[in-house]
Structure 1
Amino acid sequence: MIARVIVDVPSRQTDRPFDYEVPEGMAGWLEVGSRVGVPFGGRVLQGFVIEIADSASVDRTRLKSVAELLDPVPPLLPDMIELSRWMSDKYCCSWTQSLQAMIPAALKGKEERQIALGDEESLDELPPELVDWMRSGDGLVKLDKLIARFPEHLRTVKLALRSGALAQLSSIKDRLSVRQVLTVFLPEPALPLEEALAQVSTRAAKQRVALMLMYERAEATTLQELAQQSGASAASVKALAEKGLLVIREVEKGRDPYKDRQFARTKPLPLTEGQQEVFGRIVDAMEDGQGRTMLLHGVTGSGKTEVYLQAIQHCLDQARQAIVLVPEISLTPQMVERFKGRFGNAVAVLHSRLSNGERFDEWRKIRSGKAQVAIGARSAIFAPFERIGLIIIDEEHESSYKQEESPKYHAREVAVRRAKQHGAAVVLGSATPSLESFAAASRSAAQAAPGAPSALLPMPHRVGGRPMPEVEVVDMREELRAGNRSMFSRRLHEALLERLERGEQSVLLLNRRGYSTFVMCRSCGHTATCPHCDISLTFHQKSRVLRCHYCGHAEGAPASCPACGSEHIRYFGTGTQRVEEELAKLFPGMRVIRMDVDTTGEKHAHERLLKRFGDREADVLLGTQMVAKGLDFPYVTLVGVIAADTSLHLPDFRAAEKTFQLLTQVAGRAGRHELEGEVVIQTYSPEHYAITTAQRHDYASFSAEELRHRSMMGYPPYCRLVLVTMSHEGLPLLASVSEQFAMELKELAQHQGVLAPLSTGLARALEVLGPVASPISRMKDRYRFQCVIKYRGSIDAAALVRQALRPFTEGSQQKGVLFSVDVDPQMIL
C-alpha cells in the first residue's frame, strides 16, 4: 500500500506528491485526507495523504515508510483534497498552503525532537547520573531539557549523539490537543453512604463533606468543582479515590465559547409574499442538485435573515448540512443569537475572536457530526461537512471574504466550487451586491430559457412595509462658508440633540480610527512617516503614540518638529478618538461607546460593547466600518456619516462602489422597527453619483452609472485581473527583475496568440500593465513594484503567470525578490 503525500514544506521545488510505504499496522487506518508524519530530508514533517495507490511511481527499494498517523479520523475529506488542488491552480499558491488553509490552527503540527538512550553497550560513554535520570522518566526527553539539567556535559552529549549512545527522534506535535479534565465519579457499584463514611476519619471533615456531596449529586463532577464546593483540597479528594470510595479519571471536555449564554429558542416567523417567493426558489435549487448560485438582492430590513433560517431548516430536514458565511465584523452576538436560538447545539461558530482551543473544539463538533450548521467568517467555507445542501454568503459584497495572505482565495469562488461538488445551492445575499455578482446574475437571468429558474432573487421592500429612512446630504463646503469649523454640521448637531431629548439612540460612522490621520509641521511641511513603509503615521491621543497601521511601528508623539525644531506641530484629519473627544465637549453628559480596532482588541470586547448599547447604556455608538453592518437596535433612529469622502478618492477603481455600499449599509441601521429613521451624510462631494444614489437608496441607478464607467475603462466585470507584486530591499535589482518578469509574461502570452489590448474588442485578449511602483511603494523596509494583468475570454491567466514565475522562483534567476500573486484582487494598493 502506497500513500501519496503532500509534505508541509513551503517550497516550489517540493510542491508535489511524494510516495511513502504504509506500514502494515497502519493500513486499515490510513485514508485520503489523513494527516501523517513522514521522514523528509532527515526530519519528520507533517504531510497530507492525497491518494492511496497499489504501485509506487519510483523504485520501491528507495521508499521510506510513513512514520506516524496523526489522527484516527482524517481531518480532510476527499472532496476537500480535490478542492485544495483547484485552489492551488487558481490562486497560484503551493498545494500545501491550500491544504493548511482548510484545517484549524491547532492541527498545524510542528516537529518536536527528543533524545533517547541508544545502544546499551555504548552507554558507558555517558555519565551514570545522566543515564539514571533519563531512565527514571519514560526514556525520552527534549534536548533543551537535557542541556538545562546537565549543562556541564554539553560536549559529552554532542559526542554521544554522533556515536549512537544517544539517539535523536523526531515526531509531530499538534499545537493544541483535546482538553482533558480530571473528573470524579462514584464507583460502580457504590457502597451505601453510611458504610463509605465509616471508612473516613471523623477528623477529615472536608473529605466527609466531599463524599456526601458526591452521593447527593449522584453524577460526575470535575475535581476542581468538587474541591471548590466542598472546601476540600484536590489531595483530599484523591485520598478518597485511593480508598476506592471515589473514582478519578480524565474526561474530554469541549471548550464551548457560549457555555455561559442562554439562547431562547425561536420559532419560524410567517413569511411575506416576497420572502415566500424567494424561499421557494432556494428550496428548488437545493432539490435539483445542480449546484446553482443565486443572488438574493434585498434592501436592508427586507427580512433576508428569516429566509436564510427557514432555508437552513429545510436543508436539515433533508439530512444535509449548511454553511453560513458572514463578514468578520458582522459576526455579532445578535447574529449568533438568531442561529443558536433557532437551531441550538446544531450550530458551530467559527471566527477569529475565539481562542484557538475554542475554534478547534467547534471544528471537531462539525467533523464528528454533532453540528449540522456552521456559521463563521471566510474560513468557515472549509467546514468539514460530508453532505452540504446550502451555502449562504451574507453581505456577499464585503471585501473581507477575500484573504490577503497566501492562499489569496475568495470565499465566494470557493463556495461556488464546493457547491458544485455537493450539488448544493449557493445564496449570495446583499442590499448592495458587488458589481461582478450583480452583472453575472443579470446576465444569467437574461440568458435563461423561459420558465427556467432565475439567478436573481429580488426583495425590494422592507418587512411590514416600513419606509426606508430619509437621507439628508450636507455639503461641508457650505458649512465652512457659513463659519462652521466643527466636524459636525449644524443639521447633524441638531439631530443628535433631538435624539438626546427624546431618549433615542444614534450611530455615528467614521471610517478612520485613531485621533488624527497625519502629523505635520506647519513651519517646514515635514510629515511624520513610518521609517519602514511609505505611509504617514496615525496619531493616537490616549497613548500619545504615532503608529503605522501597516507594519505596526510605533513611536512617541514629538513635542517639536524633528526636521526644523519648530514647535508648530499640528494634527490633521479626524479619527474616532477625536470625534469622541468633540462629542464630550459639545454634548456634556452624552454617553458614547467607541468601537474600532483599538477598543475591540480584547476577547469578547465586541460583544460587551454591543450589549451595553443594546441595553441602552449609551446614547451614541461611534465607530468604523464595524458599526455599519449586521446591527439591529430598535431605538436607533439617527445615523450620521462624519466624512463620506474617506474612501471615495482612493486610487482604486472600486472606490465609488465601496463608498455607495458603506453609505447604504450604514443608512440601513436606522428606523428598522416602529420608530422612523433619519440619516445625515456629511461630504465635500455632494454631487458625486455614489453619494446621490445612496441618498435615494437607488442601487439600479448607481450600478448603471458605475458599469458605464467600468466598461469605458476596461475593468471588472468587463475583464478579469491578476495583480503580481514584487518586493526587495534593493531598488535597482527589483526594477530589473520586475522588467524581466513582465517581458517573460508578454512572450508567453504572445506565443499563445492572446497578447492584445482589451480596447481592440477581441473576444480573447490579455494585456500587461507595468511594472510600476506600487501605490504604497515601500513596506516593512522592502520596495514594491507591481504588474496588473487584464484579460477576458477563456484564457488561463493563472497558468501563464505560474509559468512566467518559474525561472524567478525556482531557477538560476532567483535573487531574493519575493513575488506575490493575487488573482481577482480586491485591493490594488
Structure 2
Amino acid sequence: MSLFAEIALPVPLRQNFTYYVPEELAEIVRVGVQVLVQFGKRQKAGFVVGLSEKTELTEVKPIIDIVDPVPLFDEIELEFLREVAYLNFASLGETLKSALPTGFLVREKGRVFLENPSFVPQEAVSQKILSYLSNRGNASISTLRRLVGKHRLYYYLGKLKSARAISIEYDLVEQKTPLVKRVVRSRINDPDKLRELAVRSARNAFKKKALLYLLAEDPTREYDYSLLQKAFGSPALKSLEADGLIEVADEEILRIPQEFGISRPSTKIELTDEQKFAIRSILSSLDSPCVYLLYGVTGSGKTEVYIEIIREVLSRGKGVIYLVPEISMIPQLFTRLKLALAPERIAVFHSYLADGERYDIFRAVKEGIYRVVIGARSAVFLQLKSLGLIIVDEEHSSSYKQNEPPPYYNARDAAILKANYYSCPVILGSATPSIESFYRATKGEYKLLELSKRIPGSRLPSVEIVDLKDERASKKNFSILSSRLRSELENCLARGEKAILLLNRRGYSNLIQCNNCGYVPKCPDCGISYTYHRIGEKLLCHWCGREERATESCPNCGSFRFRFKGWGTQRIESELRELLKTTRIFRLDRDAVSLKDGASSVLSEFANSKGGILLGTQMISKGLDFPDVTLVGVLNADIGLNLPDFRSTERTFELLAQVSGRAGRGEKEGKVIIQTFSPSSPAIQYAISQNYHTFYTYEIEERRATNFPPFSKILLILLFHSNREKVARAAQELSEKLRAEKLEVLGAAPAPIERLRGEYRYQILIRNKELSPILKTLDKISLPRTLKVKVVVDPIELV
C-alpha cells in the first residue's frame, strides 16, 4: 500500500507539498512529526500535516528521513495553527516553525566557497569577505558573521553569489540539545552494610574504601559522577559498578531558570462586590470558550480576580496560560502568583531566555510538570497538557503583535482562537481596553465585566498638566524637567517616597547635529538619523541595529561643534543625577532588559530602595505595582501623538492612563504631572479625567466616520527592493490588480520610513468590511515573486 505525506515547509508559500513515504518509514511517519525532504537543490526540514493513500501527482519525491518519531503537534494544536496561518496570510510551515522553540528545529548550516578570486567588488564589506576567503578557500557563515559584525551579511553574500564570486552549500544540523548529567547512586541502602564492605576491601584499595565510607554517610543521596571521578578516580567507580554496589546513570537536567521575583509582603485582601461578581460570572462557564473583557480602572484588583479563577482551574486538574505584553511585568507577577498559589510550580517563558531554557520549559509544560505559565507573546503556542484558561493581561498592548518573523499574528486574537479549540474561557484584562475589544463587548460578542473603583485603601491619583510652551516662553526653562515637576520630585525624595518618570524613547540623545555645517549622521542602510548611546560611546540605528563609534568631531567638516540634541533615557538619567543630587535612579528600557535578568534586577533594586526614581520607556507604564510610588511624571506626552496613524490618539491615551495608574496604589495619595506642548489634545484631556468611557465614546465616533476598525478590516502589504523604481512599479501594478477585484485600496505609496536596511519600501492598504474576501483575493492573484513582500493582517502600526 502506497502512503503519501502532506508536508508543511517553512517557506513563504501558502501551500503544502506532497512526498512519498518509503516503506521503511511507513510505520513511524505520523501527523505532527518533523521530517527531512529534498526541496529544490537543498534539503529542508518540514512537518507532516496529513497522510493519504492516493495522490494525483505523477512524480513524487520520497521523504529522506525522520528527525524524531515523536509528534510535535497533536490534532487539536495543528488545527489551531492552521487557522492562525490562514487568518494571518502566512504559510503553515512558517507558522508551525514559529510555534516551537529553536531547540526542536533542524537548521541550515552554510559554508561559503570562493569561486572567482579575481572578482573585485565595490563595497568594503564584500572586499573584506573575499579577502578572508582568498586566504582560506572557504568559511562557515557563522565565521563570516563574526568577521563583518552587524552589517547585512546575507545582503552582501547575495550580491557576491549573483556575481558568481562565491558559492554557498548548506547542511542540516539538529538543534536539539538536552542537558545530561551522569549520576551515581548506591544500590545498598544500609549504612552498616556499606561500612562492612569498606572494611573487607583489599588493603591497597584506598580510594575504593574511601568511596564506600562516603556512600555510607547517606546511602540515599545522588552524587555527581564527575565530582566522584575527580576525587576517587575512574578505577574505584568502575570496580564498585562491576560489583553491583553502585548504579551509574545519565539523567537529563531541565534548564529551568529560577525566575527571582520582587519581594513584597503577602497581604490578605478583602474582595469587593464587583470582584466577587466577576469571579462568579467567569466560574459559571469554565468549560466553554467564552471571551470575558475585564475592564477595571488601575488598581482595581484585576490580578486578584485572575488568582481566584486560577485556583479553581487548578483544582479541576487543568492548566493556565497567563500572557503579559512586557517582560518587565513578569518579576512582580511571578512573586504574586508564587505566594498565592503555593506549592504550585510556575514556569516563565519569554524571548530573553536561552534557547536551551525555552526548549526545556516547552517540554516540561507539555509533560504536565508545570500547569501555570507566565509568558510574553509566544507563550500562546505552549502546549499545556490540559488547558483550562487563558488570561491576556493588558490586552490593549501593541506588544502582542508579532513583527518578525512571520506569521504576523496578534497573541490576543490567537489566544481567543486557541481557547475555542480547547473549549476554555479567555479573560482579556485592561484599564484601557482596545477600541475593538470594547466595541465587541458592547455588541455582546464578549462578556463585559467592570471594576469601576480601586480596592479599598487607595484612590485614583490627581492629574496635573504642565504646558511646555509656557515653560519655555515665560520661565525660560529648557530643561527636561519643568519647574513644577522638579519641585515635586525633590519633595517626593525628601519624604523617602518613590517616583516613576516616563519617556517613550531610549538612548542618550535622539539627534546628533553639527552646529557648524548642520550635518546629521544617518544610517547608510535606512537613511534615518542615529541615536547616541553614552554607554559604549556609540551611534546606533534603532531600526536595523547598525552601530558606529561616536566621534568628537564632525565627519563632514571636522568641526568640534558636534552637539547632541533631544533626550533619551540615558541622558535624562545623567541630567537627573545632576539636577536632583541623587544616585537613587533606576533606568528600565530595552537596553536594560536585553541583559539576562535585567528587568528583574532593576525592579528588585527599586522595590528595595528607600525612595528613588524609576526612569523608563513604555514598558514601565503598565502592570507594575509599587505601593510607595506617590508621583508619576510624563516627560513628553506628545511623542507619538501626531504620527500618521489612526491609532495614535488611542495609543497616547492608553500610555498616559496606564502610567498614571502607577501612582497612589498604597495608602498615600498619588499625583501625576504630564508635560506636553499640546494640552488641548483630546487624548491628553481624557487622560486627565481618567475616564475611559468618555474617551471610548469620542474615539468610536472618529473610527465610524473614517471607516477604520472596528468598522472595517484592514490589511497592509509592504513591498521591499533595493531598486526604488522596481518596487514602485511593482506596487502600482499590484494596487491596480486589487482595485480590479472591487476592493478598497489606499496606495500604492512610499512607506512613511521609505528606506530601511538598504531597501526601498512601498505600501498598500486594503480595507473591507470582512477579512475573508481580502484573503481570497490575495490567494487568487499572484503577488510579486521578484521582490520581498510582507502581508500584515490588522496592522497595529502604519508607520
CA apart distance, 1:75: 1.7
CA apart distance, 1:471: 1.3
> Does structure 2 conserve the Cα–Cα contact (< 8 Å) formed by 1:328 and 1:377?
yes
> Does structure 1 conserve the Cα–Cα contact (< 8 Å) formed by 2:184 and 2:225?
no
23 and 215 in structure 1: CA distance in 2 versus 1, 3 angstrom threshold: farther
**Does structure 1 residue 819 correspond to structure 2 residue 789?**
yes
**Does structure 1 residue 552 correspond to structure 2 residue 545?**
yes
Of 409, 433, 447, the residue aligned with 1:455 is: 447
Matches within 5 A, 1:5-404: 5-12=6-13, 15-21=15-21, 23=23, 27=27, 29-41=28-40, 44-58=43-57, 66-110=63-107, 173-187=173-187, 192-198=193-199, 208-223=209-224, 226-227=227-228, 241=241, 245-258=245-258, 270-287=270-287, 289=288, 291-341=289-339, 342=341, 344-385=343-384, 387-404=386-403
Q: Deviations over 1:26-60 (max 9, x none)?
A: 62x5432222334555765322121233444546x
CA apart distance, 1:717: 1.8
2:539, 2:684 → 1: CA distance? 32
Question: 1:419 maps to which residue?
Answer: 419
Letter of the 2:721 partner, please give it.
H
630 and 22 in structure 1: CA distance in 2 versus 1, 3 angstrom threshold: farther
Matches within 5 A, 1:445-484: 455-464=447-456, 466-480=458-472, 481-484=474-477
Of 802, 822, 827, the residue aligned with 2:779 is: 802
CA apart distance, 1:244: 5.1
> Does structure 2 conserve the Cα–Cα contact (< 8 Å) formed by 1:268 and 1:306?
no
Q: Secondary structure at the match of 1:464?
A: coil
Q: Deviations over 1:683-731 (max 9, x none)?
A: 1111111112111211112122222222222222222211101111111
Of 729, 737, 743, the residue aligned with 1:744 is: 737
CA apart distance, 1:416: 1.6
**Does structure 1 residue 708 correspond to structure 2 residue 678?**
no
794 and 231 in structure 1: CA distance in 2 versus 1, 3 angstrom threshold: closer
1:201, 1:521 → 2: CA distance? 84
CA apart distance, 1:232: 5.1
1:258, 1:716 → 2: CA distance? 42
Question: 2:634 maps to which residue?
Answer: 641
CA apart distance, 1:430: 0.3
> Does structure 2 conserve the Cα–Cα contact (< 8 Å) formed by 1:7 and 1:18?
no
195 and 22 in structure 1: CA distance in 2 versus 1, 3 angstrom threshold: farther
More divergent stretch after superposition (270-279 vs 335-344) = 335-344
Matches within 5 A, 1:609-620: 609-616=602-609, 619-620=612-613
Q: Secondary structure at the match of 1:808?
A: coil
> Does structure 2 conserve the Cα–Cα contact (< 8 Å) formed by 1:295 and 1:427?
yes
CA apart distance, 1:103: 1.3
111 and 622 in structure 1: CA distance in 2 versus 1, 3 angstrom threshold: closer
331 and 31 in structure 1: CA distance in 2 versus 1, 3 angstrom threshold: farther
> Does structure 1 conserve the Cα–Cα contact (< 8 Å) formed by 2:195 and 2:213?
no
Structure 1 stretches lacking a partner, 5+ long: 114-142, 146-169, 446-453, 750-765, 810-814
Q: Deviations over 1:615-663 (max 9, x none)?
A: 1166111111122122112221111111111121222221111111111
CA apart distance, 1:434: 0.8
Q: Deviations over 1:599-622 (max 9, x none)?
A: 232211211111111111661111
Q: Deviations over 1:470-489 (max 9, x none)?
A: 11111112211212222111
Aligned CA-pair RMSD = 3.0
Question: 1:676 maps to which residue?
Answer: 669
Question: 2:122 maps to which residue?
Answer: none
Q: Deviations over 1:373-395 (max 9, x none)?
A: 22211111111135433211000
CA apart distance, 1:220: 4.3
CA apart distance, 1:65: 5.1
> Does structure 2 conserve the Cα–Cα contact (< 8 Å) formed by 1:726 and 1:820?
yes
> Does structure 1 conserve the Cα–Cα contact (< 8 Å) formed by 2:513 and 2:563?
yes
Question: 2:124 maps to which residue?
Answer: none
Scaled by the length of structure 1, the TM-score of the pair is 0.83
211 and 630 in structure 1: CA distance in 2 versus 1, 3 angstrom threshold: farther
1:332, 1:369 → 2: CA distance? 21
> Does structure 1 conserve the Cα–Cα contact (< 8 Å) formed by 2:348 and 2:375?
yes
609 and 618 in structure 1: CA distance in 2 versus 1, 3 angstrom threshold: farther
Question: 1:718 maps to which residue?
Answer: 711
> Does structure 2 conserve the Cα–Cα contact (< 8 Å) formed by 1:210 and 1:226?
no
CA apart distance, 1:177: 2.2
586 and 198 in structure 1: CA distance in 2 versus 1, 3 angstrom threshold: same
CA apart distance, 1:196: 3.5
Letter of the 1:682 partner, please give it.
Q
2:260, 2:586 → 1: CA distance? 24
> Does structure 2 conserve the Cα–Cα contact (< 8 Å) formed by 1:179 and 1:254?
yes
> Does structure 1 conserve the Cα–Cα contact (< 8 Å) formed by 2:34 and 2:67?
yes
> Does structure 1 conserve the Cα–Cα contact (< 8 Å) formed by 2:182 and 2:226?
no
Q: Secondary structure at the match of 2:784?
A: helix
> Does structure 1 conserve the Cα–Cα contact (< 8 Å) formed by 2:501 and 2:632?
yes
More divergent stretch after superposition (336-345 vs 276-285) = 336-345
Q: Secondary structure at the match of 2:337?
A: helix
> Does structure 1 conserve the Cα–Cα contact (< 8 Å) formed by 2:293 and 2:448?
yes
494 and 746 in structure 1: CA distance in 2 versus 1, 3 angstrom threshold: same
Scaled by the length of structure 2, the TM-score of the pair is 0.86
Q: Deviations over 1:713-754 (max 9, x none)?
A: 2222222211101111111111111111111111123xxxxx
534 and 243 in structure 1: CA distance in 2 versus 1, 3 angstrom threshold: same
Matches within 5 A, 1:708-787: 708-749=701-742, 766-787=743-764
More divergent stretch after superposition (369-378 vs 299-308) = 369-378
Of 769, 783, 790, the residue aligned with 1:792 is: 769
Letter of the 1:828 partner, please give it.
L
507 and 264 in structure 1: CA distance in 2 versus 1, 3 angstrom threshold: closer
1:246, 1:262 → 2: CA distance? 43
> Does structure 2 conserve the Cα–Cα contact (< 8 Å) formed by 1:190 and 1:245?
no
1:652, 1:662 → 2: CA distance? 16
Q: Secondary structure at the match of 1:181?
A: strand
1:218, 1:628 → 2: CA distance? 54
**Does structure 1 residue 654 correspond to structure 2 residue 647?**
yes
Q: Secondary structure at the match of 1:599?
A: helix
2:560, 2:236 → 1: CA distance? 69
> Does structure 2 conserve the Cα–Cα contact (< 8 Å) formed by 1:517 and 1:539?
yes
Equivalent pairs, count: 739
Q: Secondary structure at the match of 2:572?
A: helix
Q: Secondary structure at the match of 1:679?
A: strand
Q: Secondary structure at the match of 1:349?
A: strand
**Does structure 1 residue 605 correspond to structure 2 residue 598?**
yes
1:199, 1:634 → 2: CA distance? 67
Structure 2 stretches lacking a partner, 5+ long: 111-137, 141-169
Q: Secondary structure at the match of 2:591?
A: coil
Letter of the 2:307 partner, please give it.
L
1:304, 1:201 → 2: CA distance? 70
